Amino acid sequence: MCGIFACHHHPDVISFKPKALQLSKLIRHRGPDWSGNFVKNKTIIAHERLAIVGLDSGAQPLTNDDETLALGVNGEIYNHVIIRHALGDSYKFKTQSDCEVIIPLYLKYDIDCPNHLDGMFAFVLYDAVKDRMIASRDPIGITSLYMGRSSTCPGAVFFASEMKSLSEVCDDIITFPPGHIYDSATDKLTRYFNPSWWDGEKIPSTPLDLLAIRKSLEAAVRKRLMSEVPYGVLLSGGLDSSLIASIAARETLKAQGGTSTSGNLTGVDEEGHLSGAASWPRLHSYAIGLPGAPDLIAAQKVADYIGTIHHAHTFTLQEGLDALSDVIYHLETYDVTTIRASTPMYLLSRKIKAQGVKMVLSGEGSDEIFGGYLYFGSAPSKEAFHTETIQRVKNLHLADCLRANKSTCAWGLEARVPFLDKAFLELVLNIDPEEKLIKSGKIEKYILRKAFDTTDEPGATPYLPHEILWRQKEQFSDGVGYSWIDCLKDSAEKFVSDEDFATPKPHWGDDVPTTKEAYWYRCMFDEHFPTKTCAETVMRWVPKADWGCAEDPSGRFVKSHVSAV
């Protein structure tokens, strides 16, 4: 990942440049390898780079030959090799960066260029000839991006990878919507991503194809191994991360024994071959938890089985508590479930980066796509089940994607999420939701488990041990150790008095915390981001009470959980 900050149509951009560079520096943790900037007319683009592909030549902002186009990107474009081949000699590339393909795509397709990208990204592109800026974000919002305006600088529009870079200069900030593109020529946001499954009220009826699910997820993992630096996998021991780790281990071995068909470019070619993947001789996996945590035990079983070099890290309750304020600063949220799960991930990311790793694969998105949260077992119908999955996918950028992106980027680490691959989403979200229902004889995410169950395939090597493949859903904040959430609740009781809890802050308006834990987090958020416009970018998890959802987001409070409290 990287960090971008940009301002278009500033009345005095030269005078503003020192402040812009200071604001960009606030997100240097996202890109500690290099800093660059571009200034022309009334526009500035600043960039903090994390180098993963095109190490020697991919410094940003990227420009065309005559520097009339400038591009600042945070992300990875997995199909860049295919795009380069398709463009042929029509554009003269200056670097081997995967992101440079956005410039010729803009020249060819204008604001439809994001539709031709397969990856996770947030970018701003300035066209000096037209004095025009466009900005866009990937379809699901894996990569973070914010947009702001200032009443003291009318006409200007600001963009940044994190809200903290805008909070000082903007009094109007929004989370840039995923799957959209902004065009300064019209001053409008337009949704470019229009998949067949977008309308959650339209219930699909495509028959189940288990082999298609397996092959599609394998392809999604394969393309995300595009890297020129050592990479690893986050392995909690749950179904999702374990499947990703298993596939990654297989694909890494294939890549090491294969031959490149793409010259010295790193990526996946037209035939689906992975080339230029850099790794150690064996894949490394990483897990974290309190001593004796369920996830640590399960993760070790998986690592032993798939043959990764495994790194199991522990943290203490006090270390978790000590990190809370920093976690909230980096996450830019006060949502309870996000903070609970982000803290261990934040601590683990620091350990991983210290070992020289810059990129990891992670398992976010599966529960939203397959309806894997335990409360989905109370869905009254397949129609309601499907509608809820689509809504959860649409909100991922405010929840699990935000957690994965910012927890890792806090330490200059990039997380890639195969489950949110466009082709995989198109396949799985069009399956008849009757197949996904949690009912008698079918555990949550049954079809995903069944797709990778090789029991009936003679001679096939199982992807995972049976007890892992069929292990019940354990939310990350629970799996790191049940005492973690208990400790947070107990600490909130100490820090928030009954009197304070009964007296919400006036500026909170209707967004009033319903627990002392939530109150505590909101107070810490306000210390970092005191303005109302910052709080308006936050979405809190709201329980689906009509499905029996408890107020507490922990999976243990769902009656079907084997460790229900």
Q: Please give the pLDDT value at position 260.
A: 41
Residues 412 and 486 in one domain: yes
199 within a domain of the structure (yes/no): no
233 with 172, same domain? no
> Do 250 and 398 fall into the same domain?
yes
pLDDT, residue 1, reads 67
Provide the pLDDT for residue 472: 79
d(CA 390, CA 332): 24
* Final residue in a domain of this structure, among 191, 218, 248: 191
160, 191, 222 - which closes a domain: 191
Find the CATH number of the domain harbouring 152. 3.60.20.10
Q: Are residues 316 and 346 in the same domain?
A: yes
Tell me, yes or no, if 2 is annotated catalytic: yes
Same domain, 115 and 228: no
DSSP H stretches of helix in 74-158: 80-87, 102-109
Is 268 within a domain?
Answer: no
Q: Is the pLDDT of residue 149 over 90?
A: yes
Is there a domain that residue 293 lies in? no
Same domain, 168 and 226: no
How far is Cα 68 from Cα 70, in angstroms, rounded to an integer? 7
The token pair at 258 is 């294969």
**Which pLDDT band holds residue 63 (cuts at 50, 70, 90)?**
very high
Nearest CA to 527 out of 269, 275, 164 is that of: 164
pLDDT tens-digit readout, 151-201: 999 999 999 999 999 999 999 999 999 999 999 999 999 999 999 999 999
Please check whether residue 493 is in contact with residue 267, taking contact to mean a CB–CB distance below 8 angstroms.
no
Query: What is the domain extent for residue 502?
Result: 210-257+302-359+366-557
**Roughly how many angstroms between the first and final C-alpha of the chain, as a whole number?**
39
Q: CA-to-CA distance for 144 and 75, rounded, in angstroms?
A: 10
Q: What is the pLDDT of residue 217?
A: 98
User: Are 93 and 239 part of one and the same domain?
Assistant: no
Q: Please give the pLDDT value at position 294.
A: 86
Residue 471 has pLDDT above 90, yes or no: no
Same domain, 419 and 534: yes
Residue 278 is predicted with a pLDDT of 53
Q: How many CB atoms lie within 10 A of CB 94?
A: 14
Within-domain flag for 130:
yes
| Residue 420 pLDDT | 98
CA distance 467 to 492: 36
Please say if the pLDDT value at position 54 is more than 80.
no
The H or E element spanning position 409 is helix 400-409
Q: Kindly state whether residues 401 and 474 are assigned to the same domain.
A: yes
- Which DSSP letter does residue 353 get? H
* Selected catalytic residue, list 2, 7, 170, 401: 2
Above 80 in pLDDT, residue 211? Answer: yes
Cβ atoms 34, 57 nearer than 8 A: no
403-454 tens-digit pLDDT: 999 999 999 999 999 999 999 999 999 999 999 999 888 999 999 999 999 9
pLDDT score recorded for residue 545: 82
Mean pLDDT along residues 56-64: 79
Contacts of 199 by beta carbon, 8 Å cutoff, 6+ apart = 390
Q: What is the pLDDT of residues 278-292, one digit of tens each?
A: 555 679 999 999 999
Domain annotation covers residue 285: no
Nearest by Cα to 362 from 307, 392, 403: 403
Total-model pTM: 0.94
Claim to verify: residue 480 and residue 547 sit in the same structural domain? yes
Q: What is the CATH number of the domain that holds 417?
A: 3.40.50.620
Residue 338 lies in a domain: yes
One domain, residues 421 and 338: yes
Mean per-residue pLDDT for 3-30?
97
120: helix, coil or strand?
strand
Name which of 235-249, 263-277, 346-360, 532-546 the model is least confident about.
263-277
Please indicate, yes or no, if residue 197 is contained in any of the structural domains. no
Q: What is the pLDDT of residue 281?
A: 63
Same domain assignment for residues 308 and 438: yes
The tally of domains found in the chain comes to: 2
In a domain, 16, yes or no: yes
pLDDT exceeds cutoff 80 at 98: yes
Give percent of the chain with pLDDT exceeding 70.
90
Confidence of residue 546 (pLDDT cuts 50, 70, 90): confident
Q: What is the DSSP annotation of 146-197?
A: EEEE-TTSTT-EEEESSGGGTTTT-SEEEEPPTTEEEETTTTEEEE----TT
